Amino acid sequence: MRRTLAMTPHLLLAVALVAATAVTRTGGDRSPTPAPVAATTTSTESPLVQSGPQNLVTRVQDTFISNVNNTDNSRGAFLHIGTPDNGTTKYRSLMQFDLSKLAGASIESASLRLYNSYTGSCDGWWMYATPITAKWNQTTVTWASQPAVSSNTGLQAAAKFGIGNANGCQDHPNFVDPSTSDGLNRLDVTAMVRAWVSGDLANNGIRLSAGESETKAYKDFCSMNPGTQAAAGPCSIAYHIPTLEIRFNSTRPVLATTNGGSKHIELYDGSDANAFAKGPFQRWAPDTYHSITDSSLLAGGAFGGGVDVKLRPAGLYGSGQVMVVADNSSGFVGVIPYPALAGRKWAINVGGSGLSNIHGAELMPDGNVAVALARSGRLQVFTAAQGVNWTAGTKPVVDVELPGAHQVLYDPTGPWLWAIGNTELVKYRYTAGTGAIEQDTAYPLPPQTTFTATTPAYGHDLNSVPGDPDRLWVATNGGVVQFSKSATASCGVTGTATRWPDPASAEVGSRWCGDYPGVASINANRLAKSVDTEPGSGRVAMIWADEPEGTSTKVTFVSGATQTTGGSGTGPSYYKARWLVAAY
């Protein structure tokens, strides 16, 4: 089993960038339908930041101005442009984003995402986004005092579209998977954003405008104030807030961490040495901001920052990729659109830490999800249908015992489902559709002979080894080892090269291997909680727990013999670190 390096088209299905003379709307079927998927499909996603709270790019202010009033319009749910009455009343809208943390970055592309809630014409009409050249304040700006805009047409963006009219083009907001709402539109603002981050143009924001003589050009958009509209309205959805989507450092991998300190899954530019100092470019939690509003999905308690995160091909849930997350504190398990990070494709609750103590989750190409529950010592499978239409109290279709179950990993070669518990690594035959699993072989983990001959290693993490279909990463309380599925070749472990397992233990040197690059640095400590390899560079990211808490204040990177660390802000509590590569 390996992560192949064959490239698939860049995701951006939910965030496709458009030409200045065109616009894209997302929409389509609201429920997942079966679709063929190559289980080993890989797409290395470049960092994509979407403006929002605590991200690298944040929202600053927005409002609309009108020739018929001088009031403060900054608190409303809507922005307006054009004229609703053939020129008597005219509207323009202003908005601003903070891009200071991207200063000097190489911008590949940028789009302004807007939700069009009303249009004057279903035939579509032109609108314009133009950089503002003077400072302004959302609470005091008026039509008479509105700031000037740039005359450089090369920095202006334009688009022609129309949606949100009851006379044939009504919008359809999707409250569960909002990245598919058909009112979403995007303008290509790459030139504008490049000028801002390079320092060639002062960032005073954007003016939105449209024709001001005919009603057909009129448009309403959701503002940055989603809470000001009733819950049933499209502008109550945070994903519909005006948002900048910026792709930068296109060749760099994304590193995801679970963080019990910030209570978020965090995404970092994985090749930026200063990434942890700058902070994550995206954060995610199952909250109302990310359109997770079903309280039964957090029945176990508040989200604790996650215990597992993986990127997978969407499979049953459409083209592109999804992020699979699990959280111990709340019991939340979800399949989340990526990189939209809004709403859900699939979600359940397995009970909080006092009940199940979930530590791992895996998405199969058929849409089913397997979970590893440490405290209850269970390996469970839930079907696609159960997570699409979750009802509290729903039972898994498969429930087998595995003491200390900590992680699950799908292997398309069988297909198999691998799982690791306290004392053994188990291979199960997996049946697509029904989710049935049948144990094939159990492999006892080598004991921690460093302490006593009978002390279990206690398994924690299980992962593929990119480029080597015969190998798996295994992380335990004893340390880190690679597992050979075939055990047909010598893969020596010596007492000086690694601290665990003991070379005298059964099948060490044939099944349990210590011949991988960087072994002395990767297996330098006990309490290994996660291990993962970035396919492009071979760099390993891992978590060693700070005793006795079971988490760490830092992520350790190993490249050859070089070891570096990164940490995030004050009080990070990392448990897993994953390179986001959509492959099994």
pLDDT at position 495: 54
* CA distances in angstroms from 326 to 200, 270, 345, 360, 400, listed in the order given: 44, 22, 14, 6, 19
Answer yes or no: is 281 within a domain. no
Residue 17 has pLDDT above 50, yes or no: no
Answer yes or no: is 34 within a domain. no
516-533: average pLDDT: 91
Q: Given 211, 231, 247, which residue is the final one in a domain?
A: 247
CB 560 within 8 A of CB 292: no
238, 361: one domain: no
Percent residues over pLDDT 70 in the chain: 89
Answer yes or no: is 441 within a domain. yes
Point out the least confidently predicted range of 312-316, 455-459, 508-512, 552-556.
455-459
82, 220: one domain: yes
Read off the pLDDT band of 570 (50, 70, 90): low
Residue 6 has pLDDT above 50, yes or no: no
Q: Given 212, 247, 282, which residue is the final one in a domain?
A: 247
Read off the pLDDT band of 21 (50, 70, 90): very low
CB 146 within 8 A of CB 245: no
76, 224: one domain: yes
Residue 497 has pLDDT above 70, yes or no: no
Q: Is 87 exposed, middle or buried (0-12, 13-18, 19+ CB in 10 A)?
A: middle
Q: How far apart, in whole angstroms, are the C-alpha atoms of residue 508 and residue 448?
A: 13
Q: Does residue 510 or residue 569 have the better pLDDT?
A: 510
Q: Which domain holds residue 231?
A: 51-247
Q: How far apart, in whole angstroms, are the C-alpha atoms of residue 260 and residue 270?
A: 20
Answer yes or no: is 290 within a domain. no
pLDDT at position 45: 59
242, 361: one domain: no
CB 348 within 8 A of CB 367: no
* CA distances in angstroms from 260 to 279, 298, 307, 327, 551, listed in the order given: 15, 16, 9, 10, 8
Answer yes or no: is 171 within a domain. yes
CB 390 within 8 A of CB 369: no
CB 466 within 8 A of CB 533: yes
Q: Given 228, 247, 266, which residue is the final one in a domain?
A: 247
Answer yes or no: is 488 within a domain. yes
Q: How far apart, in whole angstroms, are the C-alpha atoms of residue 472 and residue 419?
A: 11
Helix (H), strand (E) at residue 222 = strand 219-222
- 430 closest CA partner among 377, 497, 379: 379
Answer yes or no: is 31 within a domain. no
Helix (H), strand (E) at residue 131 = strand 125-131
Percent residues over pLDDT 90 in the chain: 71
What is the per-residue pLDDT across 234-282, written as a single tens digit (0 to 9) for each?
Answer: 999 999 999 999 999 877 899 999 999 999 999 999 888 888 888 899 9
What is the per-residue pLDDT across 195-223, written as a single tens digit (0 to 9) for each?
Answer: 999 999 999 999 999 999 999 999 999 99
pLDDT at position 1: 43
- Residue 199 in 3-state DSSP? coil
Q: How far apart, in whole angstroms, are the C-alpha atoms of residue 64 and residue 95?
A: 9
Three-state secondary structure of 37-98: CCCCCECECCCEEECCCCCCCEEEEEEEEECCECCCCCCCCEEEEECCCCCCCCEEEEEEEE
CB 448 within 8 A of CB 498: no
* CATH number of the domain where residue 500 is located: 2.40.10.500
Q: What's the one-letter identity of residue 15?
A: V
CB 234 within 8 A of CB 171: yes
Q: What's the one-letter identity of residue 97?
A: F
pLDDT at position 274: 87
Three-state secondary structure of 236-278: HCHHHCCEEEEEECCCCCEEEEEECCCCEEEEEECCCCCHHHH
What average pLDDT is seen over the chain?
87
508, 362: one domain: yes
Q: How far apart, in whole angstroms, are the C-alpha atoms of residue 301 and residue 141?
A: 44
Instruction: Please spell the DSSP secondary structure of 388-407, one letter per residue.
Output: HT--TTPPPSEEEE-TT--E
Q: Does residue 494 or residue 442 have the better pLDDT?
A: 442
For 297-328, b/e burial (b = at least 16 CB within 10 A) is bbbbbebbbbbbbbbbbbbbbbebbbbbbbbb
Helix (H), strand (E) at residue 191 = helix 190-198
Residue 12 has pLDDT above 50, yes or no: no
Total domains, the chain: 2
pTM summary value: 0.89
pLDDT at position 173: 93
Answer yes or no: is 337 within a domain. no
380, 512: one domain: yes
- Residue 540 in 3-state DSSP? strand
What is the per-residue pLDDT across 293-309, written as a single tens digit (0 to 9) for each?
Answer: 999 999 889 999 999 99
